[in-house]
Amino acid sequence: MSGTFTELVDWIPAVLSEGIGLDLPRRDPEQPDPAADWARFDSAMRAFLDEPDALAREFSHPMAGTMTAGAAIDMLVAPDVFMHSWDLAQATGQQVMLDADYCATLLAGMEPVEGMLRASGHYGARVDVPGDADIQTRLIAFIGRDPRWRA
């Protein structure tokens, strides 16, 4: 779960800082409190989204390209939070049913760039699942999680 947490409150703020100069709070290594770190990040992200024209600001990143901040959030932040919700649910013994349409959209967009995604170090090796597995299972397996894993 620590990798999940680092993704959400360290990696995302770093990418948004580099891409649009947005200064979001990151985890505090001196005071390890994941709930407090997430609350600070969430509050700051919501405040940014409430700013007029926030989503229209230019985002430019050497790995992701140039686009609006809204497009960058749709491409980088929303999927990360969405997929990591599975990690957090599993780690805490909860069931989660991810939106099937969004799972399908993400998987369809990620499969053509699988090599690049794996090379980034952000994804583990694809886990084998039956060909007739539901879309959530296929997405979770694609990003390197074992859908059968339980806390």
DSSP letters for 15-64: HHHHHH--------TTS--HHHHHHHHHHHHHHHHHSTTGGGSEEEETTT
pLDDT at 47 over 70: yes
Enumerate helices (H) and strands (E) in the chain, giving the number of each. Answer: 8, 2
Q: What pLDDT, in 10s, does the model give residues 108-142? A: 999 999 998 898 888 889 999 999 999 999 999 99
Query: Hey, where are the domains in the chain?
Result: 1-75, 97-151
**3-class DSSP state of 65:** strand
Q: What pLDDT, in 10s, does the model give residues 52-96? A: 999 999 999 988 899 999 999 998 889 988 998 999 899 889 989
Q: Give dist(CA 48, CA 43) in Å, integer.
A: 9
Query: pTM of this prediction?
Result: 0.82
